[in-house]
Amino acid sequence: MSKILFASDFHLGQKGLTSSQERERALIRWMNEVATQADEIFFIGDVFDFWYEYKTVIPKGFSRFIGTMGNLVDQGKKINLFTGNHDMWIFDYFTNEFGIPLYRQPIIIERQGKKILIGHGDGLGPGDYMYKFIKKIFNNGLCIKLFHWIHPSIGMYIANAWSTSSRMGHKDIYNFYGEDKEILLRYCEDQLIENKDIDFMIFGHRHLPINYLLSNNHTRYINTGDWLAFQSYATMVNGEMNVQFFERNHFKVITNDPSTWNFNLGQMGNQIPYL
């Protein structure tokens, strides 16, 4: 039985409903208990709340997670890594150290007889022009080189302050707004025009666990949610896709049923991690 896992938005280094260290330990339990049973794993962005690789130095921390990822590779598990908007400055460390392929843009793959569009999800769909402009600047080689020459203590401080301000600008991230206002959902619908044969469109970035049937009544938009709140992930077995939770089964997956859209927000109470 072939099994593939998809997970994103761990934001290691940032506090959520638990501390970053507690979340990392939960993630490692998931990797040891669940990921070891998979044939292939996709980490689809924002694994770290911020990451920058110097030529011979990587950020402090996350050693348990990185070590466990290395152990999975040594066991023969195939791991794929996507950059997100918080860790776009991952370069070649994981590829050189573990042989893990790195992706910066959405890709189309075929697995278990299904065609899948997969990516982090940032900068896709209509609107959000300011972010798209900023992303171009951050991906510019000159910008990367200039940051390289800033002392790490100063550079990391600036980056963490930027990350915090970014979160404060998205306090409504755990609201689901329906087909007309969900940008990634609209992006998926637009993709059906040229990619009618895609079975699943899998993204992170949105921080909500979603399994949504698109208008062609065939393709499903899957969002892996996050680990700041949900500890959610997607599983593909024999061509069937499910969104699940690890150690937090009181949460619900958002579907086409409007009654599922606000359930999770009420379950969080006053502990919404992005506030």
For 229, the token pair is 């709140």
Residue with token string 């938009």: 221
pLDDT on residue 275: 44
Is the pLDDT reported for residue 99 higher than 90? yes
> What tokens appear for 20 in the block?
């970053």
Higher pLDDT, 1 or 260: 260
Checking if the pLDDT of 173 tops 90, the result is: no
pLDDT band of residue 167 (cuts 50, 70, 90) is low
Q: What is the pLDDT of residue 165?
A: 59
For the stretch 36-95, pLDDT in tens is 999 999 999 999 998 888 888 888 889 999 999 999 999 999 999 999 998 988 999 999
pLDDT tens per residue, range 182-218: 999 999 999 999 888 999 999 999 999 999 999 999 9
Confidence at residue 200, expressed as pLDDT on a 0 to 100 scale: 98
Q: What residues pair up with 79 in beta bridges, in sequence order?
A: 41
| Residue 8: predicted pLDDT | 98
Mean pLDDT (the chain) is 88
DSSP bridge partners of 245: 232
pLDDT given for residue 29 in this prediction: 98
List, in sequence order, every residue forming a beta bridge with 34; answer none if it has no partner: none
On whether the CB atoms of residues 84 and 122 are closer than 8 A, the answer is yes
Question: Phi first, then psi: what are they for 6, rounded to 5°?
Answer: -130, 130
- Alpha carbon 94 to its chain centroid, in Å, reads 17
Residue with the bigger pLDDT between 30 and 87: it is 30
Percentage of the chain with pLDDT > 90? 62
Task: Taking residues 9-14, report their average pLDDT.
Answer: 93
Residue 179 has a pLDDT of 87
Q: Which helix (H) or strand (E) holds 197?
A: none
For 204-258, how does the pLDDT look when each residue is reduced to its tens digit (9 = 90+)? 999 999 999 999 999 999 999 999 999 999 999 999 999 999 999 999 999 999 9
Residue 88: what pLDDT? 87
Q: Which CATH architecture has domain 3-268?
A: 4-Layer Sandwich (3.60)
Of the given ranges (102-116, 168-182, 226-240), which has the lowest mean pLDDT? 168-182
pLDDT at 157 over 90: no
Report the C-alpha gap between 95 and 78 in whole angstroms: 12
Residue 122 three-state SS: coil
